[in-house]
Amino acid sequence: MPSTTELPLIPLDVLLGNPTKSGPKLSPDGSRLSYIAPVDGVLNVFVGTPGVDDFAAVTSDRDRGVRMYWWTYDSKQLIYLQDSGGNENWNIFVVDIASKETVNLTPMPEVQARIIAYEKRHPDVMLVALNNRDPKLHDVYRIDLATRELTPVMENPGDISRWIVDRDLNVRGGNATRADGGEEVRFYDKGGWRTVFSWEPEDALISEVGGFTIDGRSLYLHDSAGANTCRLFKWNLDTDERTLLVEDPTYDVVDTVVHPDTGEVQAAIILRERKDWVILDPSIEDDIVLLREAYPGEVSIDTRDLEDRRWVVSYNVDDGPVSSYLYDRSTRELQFLFDNRPELRNYTLAKREPVSYTSRDGLTIHGYLTMPPGITGPVPTVLYVHGGPWGRDAWGLEVTAQWMANRGYAALQVNFRGSTGYGKAFVNAGDKEWGAKMHDDLVDAVGWAVDQGIADPKRVGIYGGSYGGYAALAGATFTPDLFCCSVDIVGPSNLITLINSVPPYWIPILAVFKKRIGDPETEAEFLKSRSPLFLADRIKIPMLIAQGANDPRVKQAESDQIVEALKANGVDHEYVLFEDEGHGFTKPENRLKFMRIAERFLAKHMGGRVEK
């Protein structure tokens, strides 16, 4: 294989611009297919007949693009969400496929709408949650999709953060966060609200209520109580019996495949180094075996028609585009639909290899390494830190890591303590360890990469968004001699102001942040000690900081504060502020503008390649 210096540069718009096509879905009646594709550079939904060249755009967004959409069960309408400038005050829109008429079902500019549920047996009804009465609380409303009428269903009693609804669209209860960070599951009946069980704080972050079966008498639970990892249970509400269905001693059950009619879980997903399936329903076992063997990569079931005869499935690989197919269960045939980024097939992409190392206090830390093709090291290395922090990196196509590798950098991504997927002991080990043991895990990753001959110790940068942006700031302040440059995207610089300025609808879960990060009312000095802003005088490496002005999670002030400190201290820095973005950069022109700036920044300080 040629070395990276001999391989052509992959254009930024090919890697990081809009996908050519994505998000395929079958209409419930199976007669039509939809997908997202750009119209004049803005993502919209196209609808047509599978196998026929008759696809046309049915939505007409001209600003931020459609990113989340669903079919209604009558197969005549589409529903999608849209906010304003990245403020996450989502409105729910419905578009008629035939007429292309679009209606905003929740036309309230300062209100966040959430879709709770819609079901096959009630095709004209949708349950949504709105915080129009109180910005802190989401109440339940019923939307009649035929008349567009919005009707109140249930008022939030004051602390429900997630509603629990059965398959007949009856509100059965909700989740409420306790003051200690634990979680109560409450049911509602004629007698009012009653707590049916609780998760202690150590279980609450990775445990959750799943869906009901169609008869409303059983409920699925993702539950780590009594074990280290999150297991899948079926809970019979009549007998109170819980049946253990799937468990793994090391990794959490992270997802399920649910029968579209019965609500029964047919398969569970365990995310190890790569995704692994556990089949529970023999009726789909042959299908899953066929699909997993048909093509390389990890297979996912995207949508199924109501007859459960045709599925849309996608294959995710680490060194190529995501490919989507139409699968006919009756003929067991796969029909290719499209690649999400077909131009990537014209270029050599890097492999994304699982790696692991031992932290300084004995934890096994897992991650992924994307090396420049044809290069063994040592090379300039970017420590690319995921957000959350309660999430994790996973295998598959990661376009930012591919961009780094194509430009000549090793991209090292690690699931530091506090990351999810590895059991509750690992995620809870991150409690109140922002800037401490969580950062130590990142520092140990650099040491491991240097010892392995992967990283050039004089050319290691740190890059990330959200929590990853915080980590980039922490790298420049807590370990100022380790990194040669830092890229912070929408990262908090002051943990006190971060927690004190959460969106109002996060207040019901604020106890989680106080338990896992710190409480500004009682631990202000502790939080100051973990906030890069108060150690800004230690920064001596070049910084690139990017922010969305409308970010509701990490306010613009978080970036403004650290930039003012950099100015006062004479630190080499660049600040990129997007007036029409929020927590991340959705519009392709903004995303590409930032990536071009980041590319030049890394090349200047680490020596990689730049697209001319």
Q: Is residue 111 part of a domain?
A: no
Burial of 447 (0-12, 13-18, 19+ CB in 10 A): middle
Q: Is residue 390 part of a domain?
A: yes
Mean pLDDT of 332-337: 97
Residue 1 has pLDDT above 60, yes or no: no
Mean pLDDT of 418-424: 98
pLDDT category of residue 191 using cuts at 50, 70 and 90: confident
Q: Give yes or no for a cis peptide into 542 (omega within 30° of 0).
A: no
pLDDT at residue 190 in the model:
84
pLDDT at residue 612 in the model:
85
pLDDT at residue 4 in the model:
61
| Measured distance CA(78)–CA(63) in Å, rounded | 19
Q: Is residue 72 part of a domain?
A: no
Catalytic (active site) residue 31: no
pLDDT at residue 279 in the model:
98
pLDDT category of residue 112 using cuts at 50, 70 and 90: very high
Q: Is residue 537 part of a domain?
A: yes
Q: Is residue 366 part of a domain?
A: yes
Mean pLDDT of 191-197: 93
pLDDT category of residue 611 using cuts at 50, 70 and 90: very high
Catalytic (active site) residue 583: yes
Mean pLDDT of 492-521: 97
The catalytic position among 466, 486, 531, 559 is 466
The catalytic position among 138, 222, 573, 583 is 583
pLDDT at residue 263 in the model:
92
pLDDT at residue 376 in the model:
87
Q: What percent of the chain has pLDDT over 70?
A: 99
DSSP strand pairing (455-465 vs 379-385): parallel
For 598, phi then psi, to 5°, come to -65, -40
pLDDT at residue 3 in the model:
60
Q: Is residue 389 part of a domain?
A: yes
Q: Is residue 478 part of a domain?
A: yes
Burial of 331 (0-12, 13-18, 19+ CB in 10 A): exposed
Each residue's pLDDT tens digit, 525-583: 999 999 999 999 999 999 999 999 999 999 999 999 999 999 999 999 999 999 999 99
Residue 32 has pLDDT above 60, yes or no: yes
Each residue's pLDDT tens digit, 229-238: 999 999 999 9
Query: Which residue range(s) make up the domain with 389?
Result: 345-494+531-606
| Measured distance CA(313)–CA(291) in Å, rounded | 8
Each residue's pLDDT tens digit, 289-324: 999 999 999 999 999 999 999 999 999 999 999 999
pLDDT at residue 2 in the model:
58
CATH code assigned at 354: 3.40.50.1820
Mean pLDDT of 445-451: 98
Catalytic (active site) residue 551: yes
* DSSP conformational letter for 325: E
Count of domains in the chain? 1
Q: Which of 164, 202, 157 is nearest to 183 (CA)?
A: 202
Burial of 387 (0-12, 13-18, 19+ CB in 10 A): buried
pTM: 0.96
pLDDT at residue 269 in the model:
97
The catalytic position among 393, 551, 559, 573 is 551
Q: What percent of the chain has pLDDT over 90?
A: 97
pLDDT at residue 501 in the model:
96
Task: Count the neighbouring beta carbons within 10 Å of the beta carbon of residue 431.
Answer: 19
Each residue's pLDDT tens digit, 354-395: 999 999 999 999 999 999 999 988 999 999 999 999 999 999
- The pLDDT mean for the chain works out to 97
